[in-house]
């Protein structure tokens, strides 16, 4: 297998070649595509859409007729839908593993081992495309999970995209949002912060373009999940602001219920 890589930022690709993670750094996107059997779009969702538009237009001549195209973006319906519009041999992919930091310097050799790798079959995917994607997933040590695009997007809105947005929202609520003055008590709270704050805000430390692309391309499912969360938070507020003070037993029951659901999930 010969691996060629290209990026708008050539520095990390050069480093990957030096460390033998890839075989060759292409000078241009056209050069990277020439003769490729498998093209993997490892980019934010909006960039994947832009690249697919180019593949269906000016860069189509750079793709071999036998080429398979896939991606690793975390939303699928819009991306697979565009690939179908352009009649590209495409299978959408989403390895369910990641970090809040990106780029080659943050890569881990075992990141995908034992993790689900969702695949969404494009309308113009062929048998050979499925075989190539299967080989890629096996090589990464992941487990292939075929899904419908809409079902995938609704599921990841709950367990991935909503946590990302909530992480950013917590920072806004405590420190201040864009264009706002810093919250008066933020510095005092920051001095006291520990693992709870670090854990809840870890995702907000990620690449902003990635977060914006996720929210923009999975907005409907994400909004639905946020409404569910808002309803739950409203019920927490009602309990905390109950006349005479909150019912401690009710609070205990809610915390215990959440804990038990997670414990049961860990056992499965």
CA 16 to chain centre: 22
Is residue 186 domain-shared with residue 138, that is, in the same domain? no
Closest listed residue to residue 213, CA positions, set 11, 41, 31, 8 = 41
CATH number, domain containing residue 156? 1.10.3660.10
In this structure, are 123 and 176 located in the same domain?
no
Task: Tell me how far CA of residue 24 lies from CA of 4, 30, 191, 223, 263, in angstroms.
Answer: 5, 14, 47, 42, 46
| 222 and 142 assigned to the same domain | no
Q: Which domain holds residue 111?
A: 4-147
Regarding whether 67 and 133 lie in a shared domain, the answer is yes
CA distance 238 to 252: 15
Provide the CATH number for the domain around residue 108: 3.40.50.720
Structure tokens at 123: 């309308």
High-pLDDT (> 90) share of the chain, %: 92
| Contacts by 133-139, CB closer than 8 A, 24 or more apart | 133/38, 133/68, 133/70, 133/91, 133/93, 136/38, 136/40, 136/70, 137/93
* Per-residue model confidence as pLDDT tens digits over 168-186: 999 999 999 999 999 999 9
Q: Are residues 172 and 220 in the same domain?
A: yes
Looking at the structure, do residues 94 and 224 belong to the same domain, yes or no? no
Whether residue 217 sits in one domain with residue 190: yes
Residues 129-138 pLDDT 10s: 999 999 999 9
pLDDT of residue 10: 87
Bridge partners of residue 24, in order along the sequence = 4
Whether 102 has a pLDDT exceeding 90, the answer reads no
Residues 45 and 70 placed together within one structural domain of the fold = yes
Over the stretch 66-100, which tens digit does the pLDDT of each residue have?
Answer: 999 999 999 999 999 999 999 999 999 999 997 77
With a cut of 80, say whether residue 101 has pLDDT above it.
Answer: no
Task: Give the count of beta carbons closer than 10 Å to the beta carbon of residue 71.
Answer: 27
Total of domains in the chain: 2
pLDDT digits (tens, 9 = 90+) for 4-37: 999 998 899 999 999 999 999 999 999 999 999 9
Q: How confident is the model at residue 212 (pLDDT cuts 50, 70, 90)?
A: very high
Structure confidence at residue 1 (pLDDT): 81
Interacting residues of 141 by C-beta distance below 8 A, sequence separation 6+: 110, 112, 113, 114
pLDDT in tens, 215-260: 999 999 999 999 999 999 999 999 999 999 999 999 999 999 999 9
The whole-number pLDDT of residue 188 equals 96
Q: Of 92, 114, 147, which marks where a domain is finished?
A: 147
Specify whether 101 is located in the same domain as 210.
Answer: no
User: What is the separation, in whole angstroms, between the first and last Cα of the chain?
Assistant: 37
Phi/psi for 246 (5° steps) reads -65, 155
Of the three residues 147, 164, 180, the one that is the final residue of a domain is 147
Q: 9 or 122: which carries more pLDDT confidence?
A: 122
CB atoms within 10 A of CB 96: 18
Distance CA 244, CA 105 (A): 54
Contact 62, 36 (CB under 8 A): no
Q: What is the pLDDT of residue 110?
A: 93
pLDDT, residue 93, reads 98
From 96, 113, 147, give the residue that closes a domain. 147
- Distance CA(184)–CA(10), nearest Å, equals 42
């Amino acid at each position: 297998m010969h691996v060629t890589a290209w990026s708008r930022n050539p520095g990390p690709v050069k480093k990957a070649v030096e460390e033998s993670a890839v075989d060759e750094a292409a000078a241009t996107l056209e050069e990277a595509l020439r003769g490729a059997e498998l093209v993997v779009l490892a980019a934010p969702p909006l960039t994947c859409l832009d690249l697919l538009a180019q593949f269906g237009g000016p860069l189509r001549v750079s793709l071999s007729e036998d080429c398979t195209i896939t991606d690793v973006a975390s939303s699928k319906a819009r991306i697979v839908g565009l690939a179908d519009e352009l009649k590209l041999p495409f299978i959408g992919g989403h390895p369910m593993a990641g970090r809040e930091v990106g780029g080659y310097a943050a890569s881990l050799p075992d990141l995908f081992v034992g993790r689900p790798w969702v695949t969404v079959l494009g309308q113009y995917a062929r048998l050979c495309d499925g075989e190539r994607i299967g080989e890629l997933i096996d090589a990464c040590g992941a487990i292939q999970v075929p899904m419908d695009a809409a079902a995938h997007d609704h599921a990841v809105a709950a367990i991935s995209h909503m946590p990302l947005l909530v992480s950013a929202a917590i920072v806004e609520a405590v420190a201040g949002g864009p264009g706002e003055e810093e919250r008066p008590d933020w510095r005092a709270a920051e001095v006291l912060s520990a693992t709870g704050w670090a854990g809840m805000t870890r995702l907000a430390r990620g690449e902003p373009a990635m977060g914006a692309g996720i929210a923009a391309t999975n907005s409907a499912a994400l909004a639905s999940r946020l409404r569910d969360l808002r309803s739950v938070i409203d019920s927490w507020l009602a309990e905390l602001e109950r006349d005479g003070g909150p019912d401690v037993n009710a609070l205990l029951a809610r915390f215990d219920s959440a804990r038990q659901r997670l414990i049961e999930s860990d056992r499965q």
